[in-house]
Amino acid sequence: METLLTWGIAGAVLAFFLIRYWREHKRSDEAAREKAARGPVFSDGPRAQHPQIMTEACIGCGACVSVCPEGDVLALVSGKATIVNAHKCIGHSLCAEACPVGAITMVMAKPGSSADMPVISAEYETSVPNLFIVGELGGLALIKNAVNQGRDCVDAIAQRLAASPERPVDSSVWDVIIVGAGPAGISASLRAAEHRLTALTLERESVGGTVSKYPRQKLVMTSPVEFPLHGKFSKTSLSKEDLLRFWEKIMARTDLNIQTGAAVDAVQRGTNGVFQVKTSKGEYRARAVVLAMGRAGTPRKLGVKGEELPHVLYRLIEADHYTDQKILVVGGGDSAVEAAMGLAHQSGNQVTLSYRRGEFSRLKDRNAKRIAEQMTAGKIEVLFNSMPVEFRPGSVVIEVGGELRELPNDLVWIFAGGTSPSEFLKAAGIKFGGSPADTQLQARSIA
C-alpha cells in the first residue's frame, strides 16, 4: 500500500510538471504563430542577407532563437525554427553559426523583394565591370559585414590587377578609388594599403561615415570582426567613440590617401575601361572603383511649412550638447527612438516623440524595451497617430488623432529616412533588381 502511495505521489508530481511544461509550450507556440502572422503586415520580408531554414533538418533546439542580438527575428513554431519578424533581420548570421545540425544557411532576398537593390555578384561587383558595391548600399547594415566586404572586395581587385598584363604606368590613374570612409570604406582602404595598391578614398563629410553621426555611446558592433592591418578585434560590443578612436589609431600608423569634404557627383566607365570620378574638388581616374557610400543619402524632408527654419535638424551627433530644451523628435524607427532617449537623458530636456502610426513596429528589441520603460517613467511623451503641420519659432503645430495642438518648442529633429542614391547608381550604368544568386556575373580582369 505504501509503495502504491509513493508511486501515486511521484506520478502526480511528474504530471504536474508535465502539464505545466505543456501549457507553457503551447502559449509560447501560439505567441510565435501570432508574430509570424503579423510579420507580413509590417514588411514584405527580408530585403538582403537573411537565414534560410531547412525545416526537415531542424531539431528545434532553439539555439538560433536565443543567439540573435536583434530579438524576435526567429521563434520555434511547432518545434521548428521559423522567421517571424523578417524586417528586424540585418544579417548577423549568428543563427547559422549556432545551429548544431547545419539547418540554417545565409541567403540573399529573392529578386522580387530587392527590386530597389543593385545587382551584385558574389565578389560584390555590379553589372558594370570593376565597379563594386560594399556595405549598407548593397543591403547589409551590419558593421561586421561591411568590414568583411570592404576587405574581400579589394582582395578581388588586387588579384585582378596582379593577373593583368603589364602596361606603361600612368601615374594619374589610381589602382582603386574608394567612395566613402565608413566601416566598409575604411576596411577597403586599409586592405588596399596592405596590398600596396595606389588608392584614393573620397568622403563627402567626415571619416567614420554614418557611424560618426550616431548618438553618443550608441552600440555599433555586437560580434568580433577582423580589420586589415590590425587583425581580429575581439570586443563583442563597443560604442561609437570606441570605434572612431580605433580607426584614428590605425590611420595614424598607415599611409592612407583620404580626402574629406569631397562629394562624388558621378562615376563613369570609359571605353578604355578606366573610370572617371567627378567630385566637388575635381576629377580623378581609376582602374577600379569601390562604392561604400551607405544608403542614407540626403535626409528626406516632410514638406511641412517652416521646415527651413534653423532649429529644424536632421542629424543628431552629440545629445549632451543640448540641455534645458523643449524638443520634438519626428519618426518611429530606431534612429528616432535612440535620439529621443539620448536627448531625454540630458538635464532639463522635455522630449516629445511624434510618430504617424498607432504603434512602433520596426524597432530593435532592446530599443522597444527601453522606449517602453521611458514612456512609463514619463521621461518621453510619445504622440502616436500624429504629424507636424507647421514649425514656428518657439512652437510647433502638430495634428494628433485629427486634432491640432500647438506645443512650445525650441528644437526639432526629423528622422524620416533619406533619399536613396539609386539615381546616382543608375547613372553609372548599374542594374537593379537582383541578388548574388541571380546575377550570373563572371569574374573579370582589369583593363
pLDDT tens track for 1-56? 667 777 777 777 777 777 776 677 667 666 656 655 554 544 455 556 678 888 88
Domain of 309?
Answer: 301-417
pLDDT tens track for 239-298? 767 777 777 777 776 678 888 888 898 999 998 899 999 998 899 999 999 999 876 666
Confidence category of residue 196, pLDDT binned at 50, 70, 90 = very high
Q: In whole angstroms, what is the distance from residue 256 CA to residue 16 CA? A: 67
Is 67 in the same domain as 87? Answer: yes
**438 vs 290, which has greater pLDDT?**
290
Summarize the confidence of residues 436-446 as an average pLDDT. 48
The residue among 390, 410, 408, 387 whose CA lies nearest residue 306 is: 390
Is 179 in the same domain as 144? Answer: yes
Using DSSP's 3-state secondary structure scheme, residue 414 falls into strand
In a domain? residue 447 = no
Is 372 in the same domain as 242? Answer: no
**433 vs 408, which has greater pLDDT?**
408
- Residue reference for cell 494628433: 400
Q: 53 has which bridge partners?
A: 104
CB-CB neighbours of 267 under 10 Å:
23
pLDDT at position 111, please? 41
Q: In whole angstroms, what is the distance from residue 421 CA to residue 117 CA? A: 11
Mean pLDDT, all residues of the chain: 81
With b for 16 or more beta-carbon neighbours within 10 A and e for fewer, the 133-158 pattern comes to: bbbbbbbbebbbbbbbbbbbbbbbbb
pLDDT tens track for 324-356? 999 999 999 998 999 999 999 999 999 999 999
- Residue reference for cell 532592446: 366
Is 292 in the same domain as 321? Answer: no
pLDDT at 371 over 90: yes
CB contact at 8 A, 305 and 312: no
Residue % of the chain over a pLDDT of 70: 77
pLDDT at 442 over 50: no
Is 65 in the same domain as 150? Answer: no
Is 280 in the same domain as 145? Answer: yes
In a domain? residue 10 = no
List the CATH number of the domain containing 69: 3.30.70.20
pLDDT at position 37, please? 56
pLDDT tens track for 75-122? 888 888 888 877 677 676 778 888 888 888 877 655 444 556 788 888
The residue among 139, 148, 180 whose CA lies nearest residue 434 is: 139
| Total domains in the fold of the chain | 3
Is 45 in the same domain as 182? Answer: no
In a domain? residue 284 = yes
CB-CB neighbours of 4 under 10 Å:
8
In a domain? residue 211 = yes
Is 411 in the same domain as 433? Answer: no
Is 330 in the same domain as 393? Answer: yes
Residue 80 CB-half CA count within 13 A: 13
In a domain? residue 445 = no
Q: In whole angstroms, what is the distance from residue 213 CA to residue 316 CA? A: 7
Last residue of a domain, one of 107, 123, 150: 107
Is 273 in the same domain as 358? Answer: no
pLDDT at position 76, please? 86
List the CATH number of the domain containing 226: 3.50.50.60
CB contact at 8 A, 239 and 366: no
Sequence-ordered list of residues with C-beta below 8 angstroms from that of 69, at least 6 positions apart, any chain? 92, 94, 222, 223
pLDDT at position 228, please? 81
Amino acid at 234: S
Is 360 in the same domain as 428? Answer: no
- Residue reference for cell 529573392: 110
Q: In whole angstroms, what is the distance from residue 390 CA to residue 305 CA? A: 5
pLDDT at 435 over 50: no
Give the three cell numbers for residue 237: 560590443
pLDDT at 436 over 50: no
Strands 74-77 and 80-83: antiparallel
